[in-house]
Homo-oligomer: A and B are copies of this chain.
Amino acid sequence: MKFATIGTSGITEEFLQAVKSVRGAKLVATYSRDLEKAKALAKSYGAKKAYDDVDELVADEEVEAVYIASPIALHAMQAIKMMMHGKHVLCEKSLASNLAEAEAMFRAAEDNNVILMEAMRPIHDPGYALIKKNLKKLGRIRKIYLNFSEYSRRYNAFKEGEITSVFAREMSGGALMDVGVYCVESLIGLFGMPEKITSAMIPLKTGVDGAGKIIATYPGAIAEMDYSKITTSDNCCTIEGEDATLYYTYIRDIDKIEVEYNDGRHEEFEREECENNMVYEIKDFINMVKKGENMEHYRAVSLNTMRMLDGVRMQNNMRFPADQVKTK
């Protein structure tokens, strides 16, 4: 799979590190609004081509797939453009500003007979499969706590008055979209859509959230998603059944799973050693492109995630410019 990248931030570098260790994946071109940045990235990761013009990128027939790691507000437009030109798209989370955009993106994938997949690390991590496999040991599952709370250095900048896109309303930013989505998507992947949600947020002065909590209700079970970019926690996730409790850390890179039984027994699981778990989503993406593997499942999880993110924002009156629909 010959990749191009859109975006030059840290996450793109992590992606390109992972690409190096995935057989059959290769970087051939980079894109940035800033040509020098695109060139520097291309050079670092052995690509020959660097673009600052999207039209040149889409015209590059060598590029089979595009990894998009731009601000969230740009995902839909960029992804749809790439797909209309026959490129497969692996797009960073959150997939889009809202459900309407995400649906348009999947429609574009279908119309153009290409693959669109959200780059959502946990649900492609083998640790996640291990969790899923061990859930049946817990007895009736009653209570779930998923947590991703990590103080962001960008919040230091924010407090100094520098608004990076992760905290910008115009860029569909905020903690929910940036890190809350790990909790939401993990929950939906493991347990499906809840019957009901209720939520609260800590609003920042830009109109996006710095942290939040969501309670989701299932028949006979309740879950919480707890997330923050302005504070830090131990980031332990807990799935409590009537017979045992499963603990795991961290939600994004699942490297430790423990099951504590009520009767005192204890089990530990470690997923294979892995420095950069983006390799798993890249492998799954390539398998999806080649064989259509799990396409329906991941699409449903992504769309339901957007549905829940929309719901949480609605409950907390957090709107993005991208939500505006012209009524006239």
Contacts known (A142-B202, A143-B226, A213-B224); A240 close to B231, Cβ less than 8 A: yes
Chain B residues whose CB sits within 8 angstroms of the CB of A262 once the complex forms = 151, 232
Chain B CB count within 10 A is highest, among A232, A234, A247, A262, for A232
Question: Could you list 14 examples of A-B contacts with CB < 8 Å?
Answer: A142-B202, A145-B233, A149-B240, A198-B198, A198-B199, A200-B215, A211-B222, A213-B222, A224-B226, A228-B240, A231-B240, A233-B240, A234-B238, A236-B236
B143, A202: Cβ atoms under 8 Å?
yes
Q: Which of A202-252 contact B (CB under 8 A)?
A: 202, 210-213, 215, 217, 220-222, 224, 226, 228, 230-234, 236, 238, 240-242, 245, 247
For the complex, would chain A's binding face be called helix, strand, loop or mixed by DSSP majority? strand
A240, B245: Cβ atoms under 8 Å?
no
Tell me if A260 is interfacial: C-beta within 8 Å of chain B.
yes
Tell me if A201 is interfacial: C-beta within 8 Å of chain B.
yes
CB distance from A191 to the nearest CB of B (A): 14
Chain A, interface residues (CB within 8 Å), range: 35 or more
Interface residues of A (CB under 8 A from B): 142-143, 145, 149, 151, 155, 196, 198-202, 210-213, 215, 217, 220-222, 224, 226, 228, 230-234, 236, 238, 240-242, 245, 247, 260, 262
CA distance A143 to B151 in the complex (A): 12
Chain B residues whose CB sits within 8 angstroms of the CB of A217 once the complex forms = 200
CA distance A220 to B230 in the complex (A): 11
Chain B residues whose CB sits within 8 angstroms of the CB of A155 once the complex forms = 242
A142-B211, A198-B200, A215-B215 given. 15 additional CB < 8 A pairs? A142-B228, A143-B202, A143-B228, A145-B226, A155-B242, A198-B215, A200-B217, A211-B222, A224-B224, A231-B240, A231-B241, A232-B260, A233-B238, A234-B236, A234-B247
